[in-house]
Amino acid sequence: MKHIEILSEMKKGFEKIYGKDGDIRYYFSPGRVNLIGEHTDYNGGHVLPCALDIGTYAIAKKRDDRQLHFYSLNFPKLGIESSLDELTPDEASDWANYPKGVMWAFEERGMKIPSGIDFYIFGTIPNGSGLSSSASLEVLTGLILRDMFDFEVSNKELALIGQYAENNFNKVNSGIMDQFAISMGKADSAIFLRTDDLRWNYVPFELNNISLLITNTNKKRKLTDSKYNERREECEEALKRIQRIKHVDNLCDLSIFEFEKYKFTIADEDLIKRARHVVYENARTIDACTALKNGDFQKFGKMMYDSHNSLKDDFEVTGLELDTLVLAASIQEGVLGSRMTGAGFGGCTITLIETDKVEKFKTDVQDLYTATVGYPCSFYEVSIGDGPRRIEM
């Protein structure tokens, strides 16, 4: 019902800008959160994300020409016009570079888009939160193209196309996890994904009397402006040094024992720390998946804390805001576990907490966070939802 209500409100704005004529269609693509397994995806390791019930909505219709019109309620001063003949990234296109990138990637794969589209977008994912608003928009665009022009593309291929566009059009060197979790999402289920070969399975994750609470630091950041690419390069360099004496394709192919045996060859303390996080986090994610299957939320929660500490001490991607939120969460009643989620350097934490303790948690954590950081955080109670879909109105 929530999706219908939001799209019904959007429809009024769409008709003011684009009119009531034509085959108007309605779509939703979720955001995602990663429960555990951070910075392992581009190192060939395991991740455990899930799709959310917040995400990106679109109303769209075909045009009779090759023009592309983009409008977002999140950026109302940025109505953007482009063309299928101008599928190149440019500063003026701003957020529309993400859907343009997906169109470019479709055409790169031989799927020529026959006509322009009017887009009307609204996202309920906080921008810059690390909950994959860009990947949600990419998968959403792929879904629209498939639906409107009858392209034969699976949901898994939508994820790969979205990643290809982000890497090669928008020049963000991200892994596959975000787009995969969004395109393959399933309600009440996490996705246990091995990123090097895309083997995966659903893991039941029914919350019952436990809530999934996301806390946004509200620290402004952009992935392309962060040290994300630097960390990726450090991991690649650590791998190269290990490969001098050990045949291995990815850092996450190493067991903890093998890493400890061969880490001397890295010969740089910072690079050893980066690799140590990746190898230990991969092993932790495998164990956390088992704990989730067994319904052992206490054990899962402890691993969340261990993950955060590794991201803080070895990968060094947390910072005052994220560390303050996790520390504040750790002393609240009913909390099973908490950790940063996403690339880091701002963004969000994810907390598992007994549902009846959520309101007191919000009050106490807000007070501690604001006193320490100087500005407030934001809270989002979320559910685990399905993947992208067309919605009949």
Q: Which residue reads 């440019």 in tokens?
A: 90
How far is 353 from 336, CA to CA, in rounded Å?
6
Question: For residue 292, what are the contacts with CB-CB under 8 A and spacing of at least 6?
Answer: 35, 48, 190, 203, 204, 205, 300
Name the strands in the sheet holding 335-341, side by side, starting at the edge strand that comes first in the sequence: 335-341, 348-354, 210-216, 378-382
How far is 292 from 294, CA to CA, in rounded Å?
5
DSSP sequence for 193-235 = EETTTTEEEEEE---TTEEEEEEE------GGGSSHHHHHHHH
How far is 24 from 248, CA to CA, in rounded Å?
51
Annotated active-site residue 253? The verdict is: no
CB atoms within 10 A of CB 5: 9
Strands 189-194 and 46-47: antiparallel
Q: Which of 178, 253, 306, 314 is catalytic?
A: 178
Q: Where are the alpha helices (H) located in the chain, listed in sequence order?
A: 2-18, 97-108, 133-149, 155-168, 177-183, 228-242, 256-262, 269-293, 297-313, 320-330, 358-373
CB-based burial label for 225 (10 Å; 0-12, 13-18, 19+):
exposed
Q: Give the CA distances from residue 114 to residues 56, 66, 104, 319, in Å, rounded to whole numbers and listed in that order.
A: 24, 8, 13, 47
Q: Give me the active site residues, please.
A: 178
